[in-house]
Amino acid sequence: MTSAPRAAQLGLVGCHTCGLVSAVGQAQCPRCGARLHPRKPDSLARSWAFLVAALILYIPSNVLPVMYTSMLGRGETSTIVHGVVEFWKSGAWDIALLIFIASVAVPSTKFLVLATLLVSARRQSSWARLQRARLYRFIELIGYWSMLDVVVVALVCALVQFHLLGTAEPRAGIVFFGLVVVLTMFAAMSFDPRLIWDGDEE
Amino acid sequence: MTHPGLVICEYCDSVYRRSALGDDEIARCGRCRAVLYRASRLDLDHLLALTLAAAIVFVIANVAPVIRIAVSGMHNEANLLQSIAALSHGSGLVVGLVAAATLFVVPLLQIVLLGWVLVFARARRRAPGFAFAMRWLHRIRPWSMTEVFLLGVLVAIVKLSGMLSVIAGPGTYATLILTGLITLIAKRDVRTLWDRLPADETVEFGE
Ligand SMILES: [Zn+2]
């Protein structure tokens, strides 16, 4: 493995915002003025709070309809999963898969990965550190693609406005879903990946 | 006491000495394999030109219709801003605000702040409010979602084409170009500007 020293050992701290390395003990980065801290404050507690809030809202976001559409007098509401099934039935399996990944697989993965990271970081576990570090960067990278369904609902509602012939309106499910995406992003940002490696230098 | 010759991995806190990179080389952390820094191919003139191009395309992407639909002799079209407004209808206001922030406000801020910083950077100067602009560029970067909008347009076209006749409008092509430009200019690490531009004698932040 590597023998690179860690900042805490050398009494150094890196600025999150501009990257400058300075000695521990200053409240602000001398170059950009951002607040300096060796670890994100209350990282685990904050991350858990956002994650639990996201999990709670994930239920109504899946149960409640995301959109109401009426075409030629026939009105219906649809949930996220319903939308995936519709695409699948109509033969657009690739789009069905895309929405499934963005709306179901990505949020579920984020929940599982973040919970695993939070539990193992609290226990200062040395288990699979490199893999956990990679998992964190992975969910950081994919997290925001979940916003896909929000965009689709917005476009359909803006376009299908024919009054008598047909209309489409957003419903509460999409509000909860949008909040879930934002909360999981906050949860991932609150987690300090450096906690994964604490204890590695011995 | 600061150490400009050192770099700390923001993912695991390992400390390294900076070394010069060849073209296209990437410095990675030996402990967690995260990217430490990369060789920047774009010079400031290119970066500014791309930012100006992004500004023009941004306007087109927001004003021009992204999708046109037609059914039974009636037709309709919508652009990005109209879509956000349609989402904000009634109880959708909260998610409408999220969409407005990630699809409109953040990309706009990225272009404006970067443009401001770069105009002065060409003259080898730090712009007024340089620290403020750089801090915000860093802070809003994860919330820029133009590429998600592009994918959403694609999905909406397929979704509606079952029952209506649908065509992609000029806004879609502008969004495609904007996605590429924003990836080029704002997704890369603009933090090197801190090292490339010498600080003025005047300190920009108080205390
Ligand atoms: Zn690292």
Pairing of strands B165-168, B15-17: unpaired
CA A82 to ligand 1 centroid distance, Å = 42
B13 and B91 in one domain? no
Residues of A in contact with B83 (CB under 8 A): 151, 154-155, 157-158
Same domain, A136 and A180: yes
Residues in chain A, pLDDT under 70: 1-2, 163-164, 202
- Are B8 and A18 an interchain contact pair (Cβ–Cβ within 8 Å)? no
pLDDT per residue over B113-135, tens digit each?
999 999 998 888 889 999 999 99
How far, in Å, CA of B26 to CA of B31, rounded?
A: 15
Q: Report angle CA A183, A184, A190 to the nearest 5 degrees.
A: 90
Alpha-carbon A107 to chain mean position: 7
Which residues of chain B neighbour A31 with C-beta distances below 8 Å?
Answer: 2, 131, 194, 199
The H or E element spanning position B71 is: strand B67-71
- Best to test chain A binding among B13, B74, B145 (most A CBs inside 10 Å): B13
> Closest partner residue to B78 among A145, A155, A182, by Cβ?
A155
A-B Cβ pairs (cutoff 8 Å, strict): 233
Asked if the structure places residue A68 within a domain, the reply is: yes
Instruction: Let me know whether B85 and B150 are in one domain.
Output: yes
Instruction: Kindly report the CATH number assigned to the domain that includes residue A45.
Output: 1.20.140
Q: How do residues A51-60 score in pLDDT, each as one tens digit?
A: 999 999 999 9
What's the total number of domains in chain A?
Answer: 2
Query: How many residues belong to chain B?
Result: 207
CB A46, CB B17: distance < 8 Å: no
- Structure tokens given for B3: 């150490």
Model pTM score: 0.91
Write the pLDDT tens digit of every residue in B89-118: 878 899 999 999 999 999 999 999 999 999
As for the ipTM of the complex, it is 0.91
Residues 6+ apart with CB under 8 A from B122: B44, B45, B48
The answer to the question of residue A202 being in a domain is: no
What pLDDT is attached to residue B162? 79
Nearest CB to B153 within list A5, A150, A155: A155
With a CB cutoff of 8 Å and minimum separation 6, the contacts of A150 are A174, A177, A178, A181, B87, B95, B98, B99, B152
Residue numbers of chain B with a pLDDT score lower than 70 = 41-42, 187-188, 200-207
- In this structure, the number of other CB atoms found within 10 A of the CB of residue A74 comes to 8
The distance between the two most distant Cα atoms of chain A, rounded to a whole number of Å, is: 72
Residue B180 token pair: 């590429």
Structural domain for B5, as ranges: 1-39
